[in-house]
Amino acid sequence: MESVAEALMEALALVALTAPMCLLACLGLMGLIGRPPTEQITGRLVTAGFLTSTFAALGLIPALVLSGARQAQVELGTWYAFEGHALHLTLQVDRLSVPFVVLTALLLGVVGSFSHRYLHREPSYGRFFLLLALLGSGTMLVVLAGTADMAFAGWEMVGVSSALLVGFFYERPAPVRNALWVFVIYRLCDVGLFAGIVLLHHTVGSDSFHLLGAGRSWPNGVSTAPIGQATAISILFALAAMGKSALVPFSGWLPRAMEGPTPSSAIFYGALSVHLGPYLLLRAAPLLDRAPAAAALLVVVGALTALHATLVGRVQTDIKCALAYASLTQVGVIFVEIGLGFRLLPLAHCVGHACLRSLQILRAPSMLSDVHEVEAAVGGILPRSGIVLGQLLPTAAQRWMYRWALERCYLDALLDRCAIGPFREMAAAADRFERRWTDRLGGTEVSAAGPDPQPISGAKP
């Protein structure tokens, strides 16, 4: 009985992972050879892919319960191997991954179905589902990964699909600018993840999550890594998680990411993408247990984020940003929970929050009719609700705080001024130097820039 359950579990995990990937391959290849599928066929492929994944994911729950074991590793073989360095493909099925797999598959299915109708006749319909499949594959890879390397691969896929979906409406400049901003933050924070993995290899000698917890099932894993290294790795992982989950000081990208179509906002910033940070940290829980300093950092950053987001969220005047900051508030709280050493609580919190928030974001366009309905029920204008934090403060402080909240605590401006600006200056200075040098070598014409900048006229009336 148990062996059957285990075999079943392996098969189901494999199906849950590969279904979105097959979908991605199908849509991608058809596009690449110049025969993009019609809307109807795309719809069918998407439904088939995500449904398969959902059923497989749902099947994992009884399989995990029946098998009696609290975890299982699904060995898929070796991707490539060389002199003792091998990249093994292993899936980790346990009490952490299964809830996330179910959540991912379910939300992908729901959002896929929603978008099929919502994006009907949109010229970029095919591109949207290609990116959604990329997101699905990436997320599944992260949550099912048995090794940190695999998780990194998925992590990158999520990052690219997210940036491209922010820039989905590429005709307007704002989405394009914001897509680049999102990608820059992601990319720089991802350095943390890769560096963490490198260090993990160096310290533990393996990047298997299973071995990280000394083979014990989640959340009872115990690590034997030295405290110094464990702290360093945890902090690097935390950096990656902070980027992906838009924690302070990277929060500025979250409202910018609201440029995409509503369903993509729902699935990325309400549900899956922002919760990958907590997932990673939960995965690395054995290390965190040995790294109190890193845990303290999580508590501090999480608490700051929660306060920041709740303050900023209070003054947002558009529904998508209000929900984005509401989302961020909870993500901050989840980080605090993780930092405080809870394991099952943040897991439940993630799942619950993802469901609720994605429902709310999908309903965002119906907001006016919802408000009218509630007003009719209550029999009057809804009072301004929520205790205004500022009311406890003196008036001058209130004004000051309102300005700070409205400007989103200047996080983007600060990042720009303190990190990106100097960097840009440095690059520009180096470039000037380069040009002077080649000019000296070859005569003045070498680095003479192209024709004068001729900005595109008529972009704005």
Question: Which residues, numbered 223-262, are part of the site for other proteins (CB under 8 A)?
Answer: 255-256, 258-262
Instruction: By CB under 8 A, tell whether 48 contacts other proteins.
Output: no
Query: Residues 24, 134: contact at Cβ < 8 Å?
Result: yes
Cα 87 to Cα 79: distance, rounded to the nearest angstrom: 6
Decide whether 2 or 375 has the Cβ nearer to other proteins: 375
- Among candidate residues 155, 136, 135, 159, the one with its CA nearest the CA of residue 145: 155
Evaluated on CA atoms 326, 405, 187, 290, the torsion sign reads: negative
Give the whole-angstrom CA distance, residue 41 versus residue 124. Answer: 15
Is residue 113 a contact residue for other proteins (CB under 8 A)? yes
Q: Which is nearer to other proteins, 65 or 170 (CB)?
A: 170
**Count of chain residues binding other proteins (CB under 8 A):** 170
Q: Which of the residues 151 through 190 are near other proteins (CB under 8 A)?
A: 152-154, 156-157, 160, 163, 167-176, 178-180, 183-184, 187-188, 190
Looking at residues 10 to 29 of the shown chain, list those that interact with other proteins (rule: CB under 8 A).
Answer: none
Nearer to other proteins, 69 or 184 (CB): 184
Show the tokens assigned to 244: 């992906």
Whichever of 296 and 446 has its CB closer to other proteins, that residue is 446
Rounded distance between C-alpha atoms, residue 153 and residue 140, angstroms: 11
Q: Are 166 and 186 in contact (CB under 8 A)?
A: no
> Minimum distance between the CB of residue 335 and other proteins, rounded to whole angstroms?
12
Contact region with other proteins (CB under 8 A), list: 61-69, 219-227, 286-294, 378-386: 378-386
Q: What are 309's two structure tokens?
A: 């987001």
113 vs 217, beta carbon nearer other proteins: 113
Site residues for other proteins, window 118-137 (CB under 8 A)? Answer: 118-123
Within 392-451, the residues that bind other proteins by CB under 8 A are 395, 398-400, 402-403, 405-407, 410, 413-414, 416-417, 423-424, 426-428, 430-431, 434, 437-438, 441-447, 449-451
Query: In residues, how long is the chain?
Result: 461
Report the distance separating Cα 108 and Cα 124, nearest Å. 19
CA distance 52 to 17: 10
Nearest alpha-carbon partner for 109 in 127, 145, 136: 136
Residue 196 CA, distance from chain mean position: 18
Distance CA 337, CA 331 (A): 10
Report the residue number, 291 or 324, with the smaller CB distance to other proteins: 324
- Map residues 55-94 to x or -, x wherever contact with other proteins holds by CB under 8 A: ------------------------xxxxx-x-x-------
State the Cα–Cα distance between residues 316 and 258, nearest whole angstrom. 13
d(CA 398, CA 36): 55
Which stretch in 66-74, 277-285, 290-298, 376-384 sits in contact with other proteins by CB under 8 A?
376-384
Query: Binding mask 316-355 vs other proteins (x if CB under 8 A, - otherwise)?
Result: xxxxxxxx-xx--xx--x-----------x--xx-xxxxx
Q: Which of residues 259-298 bind other proteins (CB under 8 A)?
A: 259-263
CB of 1 to other proteins, least distance (A): 29
Establish if 367 lies at the interface with other proteins (CB under 8 A): yes
